[in-house]
Amino acid sequence: MLPGLQKSPPHRPRNNTGAYGEQLAVSYLQHHHFRILERNYRAGHGEIDIIAVWRDTLVFVEVKTRISFSYGRPEDAISRRKLQEITRTALMYKHGHPELPESLRIDVIAIVLASSGGEVISFEHIPNITL
């Protein structure tokens, strides 16, 4: 089990898989000394799941949560277009917050849960994603 994640997660309603994954991601990031600034930030046509500061870097985190590997790895759902949308939204956020670090990056947290009970099968933090 990864540090910062519960061994036995609380009951997870089926229709809240994404929100549950985001909560797991926030717990993990806080455990690893990320300072969470925003969750589910929306601007224009884009959304960023988590915005945080780690050391001297402003980090924009996309969380992908799946119930199985049936449709591939969660991170495979991030297309070039989605990454461009996150980048545009991140730049809008940074423009409105000049006091935050100049160094920016986009991370992905990919989570796979068991279909019954929500136990974490796979959890991967991929810093500075590029396609």
| Amino acid 7: pLDDT | 47
pLDDT tens for 89-108 read: 999 999 999 999 999 999 99
Computed over every residue of the chain, the mean pLDDT equals 90
In this prediction, residue 21 carries a pLDDT of: 96
Q: Which of 72, 63, 78, 68 is nearest to 112 (CA)?
A: 68
Domain residue ranges of the chain, discontinuous segments joined by +? 14-126
DSSP state, residue 70:
T
Note the pLDDT of residue 2. Answer: 60
Does residue 12 register a pLDDT over 60?
Answer: no
- Is it the case that residue 15 has pLDDT exceeding 70? no
Nearest to 96 by CA among 58, 61, 130: 58
Mean pLDDT of 18-31: 96
95-102: long-range pairs with CB below 8 Å, 24+: 100/37, 100/53, 100/58, 101/53, 101/56, 101/57, 101/58, 102/58
Residue-wise pLDDT for 29-78, tens only, equals: 999 999 999 999 999 889 999 999 999 999 999 999 999 888 889 999 99
For tokens 């884009």, name the residue. Answer: 46
pLDDT (0 to 100) of residue 48: 97
Side chain identity at 93, as an amino acid letter?
Y
Q: What is the pLDDT of residue 44?
A: 84
What pTM did the predictor assign?
0.88
CATH topology for 14-126 is Trna Endonuclease; Chain: A, domain 1 (3.40.1350)
